């Protein structure tokens, strides 16, 4: 057998072993503020049974002192992780306990968001400079829950962007808290001078650094996040890491989710078609409308469903122009999907 074939078999066996050890994080959709709400997650779940879905970041203050129910979700969303924002160990522990009682499958601590508002609350990416505090926060949560407590972080902040800084952060948090599950956004964050949007685009991606991190901490579960768009890219990352987390691509081009189970989890179920997906949303939409939701709050997550196909622009335009109108219901989507040429088998 050629050496390349031997290497390929070895790589495959390594990847299969990793999947057996760490199956749950193989593919996840990133927590995205104002995007991955419960309507979005229900929509994504219709396309993938196995993807791990995350809530938007919810602050401990909102959960403890807010008037709304910030832990509400649809039972169909499992497996589902709650991402928490905060830096007070006692508050985080209380929220983690509440989340476990509500049935969440994982608690994730945000150590990656770079916005000014988050920094002012002393959480998010600025916590990378407070590794001991992060360890205390994770320890406090792990002491009161049985579900996994994980950390999502960057590869550095501001001028603290050396590999040594990153490894010190990971070793401190993992050793002092017992946390063994990290998702690494493969960019550093600039805490001053860049907006959150710019922080998702301007700092360069450094995938090799995350690969090296996994080699140096082989006992830890590690997933990678940042700029991932195609399954070919995911396959490459999975040669080095335990999981991939996809953000904007899963939201702006949601139909990619329909292939996740087949491409990454070995499912043999037929892939749902776009028209079937629209129809599958109707019962959910009608229930939500009956409970006081507005169509636009749900349909906005579906705008990219026909991306790249003839009629996609008309689909988006019809929904955008009509979903906000008083009394708008599933007829808006029925009319919108009629804009997609009937001869397309989608």
Q: Degrees (nearest 5) of the Cα angle 75, 78, 80?
A: 115
Q: Find residue 153's DSSP bridge partners.
A: 111, 184
Q: Find residue 83's DSSP bridge partners.
A: 57, 108
Cα distance between the two ends of the chain: 43
The candidate with the shortest Cα–Cα distance to 330, out of 282, 277, 294, is 282
Q: Is 9 part of the annotated catalytic residue set?
A: no
Query: CA dist 159 to 3, 189, 192, 225, 315, Å?
Result: 43, 10, 11, 21, 45
Query: CA dist 294 to 164, 238, 297, 323, Å?
Result: 49, 39, 6, 8
Residue 32 contacts residue 248 (beta carbons within 8 Å):
yes
On the 0-12 / 13-18 / 19+ scale of CB atoms within 10 A, 84 is: buried
| Gyration radius of the chain over CA positions | 21
Strand duo 106-111 + 149-153: pairing: parallel
Query: For residue 138, what are the contacts with CB-CB under 8 A and spacing of at least 6?
Result: 109, 149, 151, 173, 177, 178, 179
Q: Which of 25, 40, 113, 137 is catalytic?
A: 113
Sign of the alpha-carbon torsion through 24, 27, 29, 31: positive
Q: Which residues are catalytic?
A: 113
């Amino acid at each position: 057998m050629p050496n390349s074939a031997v290497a390929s078999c070895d790589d495959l066996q390594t990847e299969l072993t990793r999947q057996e050890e760490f199956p749950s994080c193989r593919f996840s959709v990133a927590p995205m503020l104002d995007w991955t709400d419960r309507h979005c997650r229900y929509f994504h779940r219709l396309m993938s049974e196995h993807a791990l879905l995350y809530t938007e970041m919810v602050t401990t203050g909102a959960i403890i002192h807010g008037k709304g129910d910030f832990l509400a979700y649809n039972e169909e969303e499992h497996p589902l992780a709650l991402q928490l924002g905060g830096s007070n160990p006692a508050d985080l522990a209380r929220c983690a306990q509440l989340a476990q009682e509500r049935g969440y499958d994982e608690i994730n601590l945000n150590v990656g968001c770079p916005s000014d508002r988050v920094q002012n609350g002393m959480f998010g990416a600025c916590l990378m400079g407070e590794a001991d505090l992060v360890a205390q926060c994770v320890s406090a949560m792990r002491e009161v829950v049985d579900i996994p407590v994980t950390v999502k972080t960057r590869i550095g902040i501001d001028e603290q962007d050396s590999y040594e800084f990153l490894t010190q952060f990971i070793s401190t948090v993992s050793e002092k808290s017992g946390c063994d599950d990290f998702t690494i956004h493969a960019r550093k964050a600039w805490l001053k001078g860049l907006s959150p949007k710019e922080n998702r685009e301007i700092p360069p991606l450094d995938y090799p650094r995350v690969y090296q991190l996994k080699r140096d901490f082989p006992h830890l579960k590690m997933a990678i996040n940042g700029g991932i768009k195609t399954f070919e890219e995911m396959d490459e990352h999975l040669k080095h890491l335990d999981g991939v987390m996809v953000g904007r691509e899963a939201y702006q081009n949601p139909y990619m989710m329909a292939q996740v189970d087949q491409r990454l989890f070995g499912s043999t179920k037929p892939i749902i078609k776009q028209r079937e997906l629209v129809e599958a949303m109707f019962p959910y939409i009608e229930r939500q409308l009956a409970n006081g939701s507005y169509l636009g709050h749900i349909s906005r997550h579906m705008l990219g469903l026909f991306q790249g196909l003839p009629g996609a622009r008309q689909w988006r335009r019809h929904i955008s122009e009509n979903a906000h109108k008083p009394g708008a219901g599933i007829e808006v989507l029925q009319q919108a999907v009629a804009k997609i040429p009937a001869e397309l088998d989608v």
